[in-house]
Amino acid sequence: MATQPQQAQARSDLTRFAWLSIAAALATIALKTAAYMLTGSVGLLSDAAESIVNLVGAIMALGMLIIAARPPDESHSYGHSKAEYFSSGVEGLLILIAAAAIIWSSAERLFNPRPLEQLGLGLVVSVVASVINFSVARVLTRAGKQANSITLEADAQHLMTDVWTSLGVIGGVGVVALTGWESLDAIVAILVAINIVWTGVHLLRRSVAGLMDAALPAADQQIIENVMGKYRGKQVDFHALRTRQAASRRFVTVHMLVPGAWTVHDAHQFAEEFESDIRAALGEAVITTHVEPIEDELSMKDILLEQE
C-alpha to C-alpha distance for 222 and 171, rounded to whole angstroms: 44
Residue 307 falls within a domain, yes or no? no
C-alpha to C-alpha distance for 5 and 228, rounded to whole angstroms: 30
Task: Kindly state whether residues 11 and 57 are assigned to the same domain.
Answer: yes
Residue 286 falls within a domain, yes or no? yes
Q: What is the pLDDT of residues 26-45, one digit of tens each?
A: 988 888 788 777 777 666 67
Domain boundary among 177, 211, 245: 211
Task: Kindly state whether residues 238 and 280 are assigned to the same domain.
Answer: yes
Q: What is the CATH number of the domain that holds 42?
A: 1.20.1510.10
**C-alpha gyration radius of the chain:** 25
Q: Please, are residues 169 and 49 in contact by the beta-carbon 8 Å criterion?
A: no
The DSSP symbol for 123 reads H
Range of the domain at 281: 218-300
Residue 308 pLDDT:
43
Residue 162 falls within a domain, yes or no? yes
pLDDT band at 307 (very low <50, low <70, confident <90, very high): very low
**Residue with the larger pLDDT of the pair 289 and 283:** 289
Residue 308 falls within a domain, yes or no? no
Per DSSP, the three-state class of 17 is helix
Task: Kindly state whether residues 55 and 148 are assigned to the same domain.
Answer: yes
Q: Please, are residues 10 and 147 in contact by the beta-carbon 8 Å criterion?
A: yes
Domain boundary among 154, 176, 211: 211
Residue 304: Cβ-neighbour burial (10 angstroms; 0-12, 13-18, 19+): exposed
In the chain the first and final C-alpha atoms are separated, in Å, by: 28
C-alpha to C-alpha distance for 257 and 287, rounded to whole angstroms: 16
Task: Kindly state whether residues 13 and 143 are assigned to the same domain.
Answer: yes
Task: Kindly state whether residues 165 and 235 are assigned to the same domain.
Answer: no
C-alpha to C-alpha distance for 208 and 101, rounded to whole angstroms: 24
Task: Kindly state whether residues 40 and 102 are assigned to the same domain.
Answer: yes
Residue 174 falls within a domain, yes or no? yes
Q: What is the pLDDT of residues 252-274, one digit of tens each?
A: 999 999 998 999 999 999 999 99
Write the single-letter amino acid at 145. Answer: K
Q: What is the pLDDT of residues 119-176, one digit of tens each?
A: 566 677 778 888 898 999 999 888 888 877 778 887 887 788 777 777 766 776 666 6
Domain boundary among 211, 246, 271: 211
Task: Kindly state whether residues 226 and 202 are assigned to the same domain.
Answer: no
Task: Kindly state whether residues 51 and 199 are assigned to the same domain.
Answer: yes
Q: What is the pLDDT of residues 169-205, one digit of tens each?
A: 677 666 666 776 667 667 777 777 787 788 788 878 8
Task: Kindly state whether residues 121 and 35 are assigned to the same domain.
Answer: yes
- DSSP for 49-85, please give it: HHHHHHHHHHHHHHHHHHHHTSPP-SS-TT-STTHHH
Residue 41 pLDDT:
67
The structure's pTM equals 0.62
Residue 114 falls within a domain, yes or no? yes
C-alpha to C-alpha distance for 17 and 139, rounded to whole angstroms: 8
Residue 306 falls within a domain, yes or no? no
C-alpha to C-alpha distance for 248 and 121, rounded to whole angstroms: 43
Residue 50 falls within a domain, yes or no? yes
Write the single-letter amino acid at 249. Answer: R
Task: Kindly state whether residues 258 and 115 are assigned to the same domain.
Answer: no
Q: What is the CATH number of the domain that holds 273?
A: 3.30.70.1350
Per DSSP, the three-state class of 295 is coil
Q: What beta strand segments (E) does the chain contain?
A: 237-246, 249-258, 286-293
Task: Kindly state whether residues 60 and 181 are assigned to the same domain.
Answer: yes
* Largest separation between any pair of C-alpha atoms in the chain: 86
Count of domains forming the chain: 2
Identify the bridge partners of residue 293 per DSSP, sorted by sequence position.
258
Task: Kindly state whether residues 47 and 172 are assigned to the same domain.
Answer: yes
